[in-house]
Chain A
Amino acid sequence: GDSVTQKQGQVTLSEDDFLFINCTYSTTTYPTLFWYVQYPGQGPQLLLKVTTANNKGISRGFEATYDKGTTSFHLQKASVQESDSAVYFCALLNTGGADRLTFGKGTQLIIQP
């Protein structure tokens, strides 16, 4: 079945640092890939979507790119702010297989002022 692996359980940075979070995936067909962000006390909300057609998504200063060769996709931001502190989830939608969104375990981003 489809799976998404997000190895970084927690990342701690200072303001203005560069952020990089990586996910790897396993699927039998061409996926659509997502990044969701969850702030304390809230449900996850969509941050970015990346398809095999465009390979890249940009939103709110975040950029997501996808590498079919290594079956990985990552989230990056040039300069993080304290308000970016949240849990970031990668997710995979297998458009040719089981009709569901499979999430990674999440990466807790802590920004020190």
Chain B
Amino acid sequence: NAGVIQTPRHKVTGKGQEATLWCEPISGHSAVFWYRQTIVQGLEFLTYFRNQAPIDDSGMPKERFSAQMPNQSHSTLKIQSTQPQDSAVYLCASSLDNWNTLYFGAGTRLSVL
């Protein structure tokens, strides 16, 4: 069991460029979550899917952020027109049974210059 796999581990973009972050959940897990981690804000919920369907995206900044889960083996988080304040570690997690135990990936560190 390789755990939750996130790629890339580090991504550097210029201001205004697009960034796509990838997540491969643990096989058989039905729920996938995205969080953003910064020193100032800590762990912030962004969105989550259950059985590939979007359930709650209330934590997503509306205009530039989007998330998809086209199949059970991967999810993507896309940030359009990246801004310096988007710099953070983006964490993906999966779970067998919704919120009871989340298994996090190592995260993607996004740096917007």
Which A residues contact B (CB, under 8 angstroms)? 32, 36, 41-46, 49, 89, 93, 98-106
Contact = CB atoms under 8 A, between A and B. Distances in A.
B101 A46 contact: yes
Contacts of A49: 100-101
A104 B91 CA distance: 16
B4 A43 contact: yes
Prevailing SS type, chain B contact patch: strand
A44 B55 contact: no
Contact of B102 (A46, A98, A104, A105): A46
A100 B95 CA distance: 13
Contacts, number: 49
B10 to A, nearest CB: 11
Interface stretch (B12-20, B63-71, B77-85, B103-111): B103-111
Nearest to B45: A100
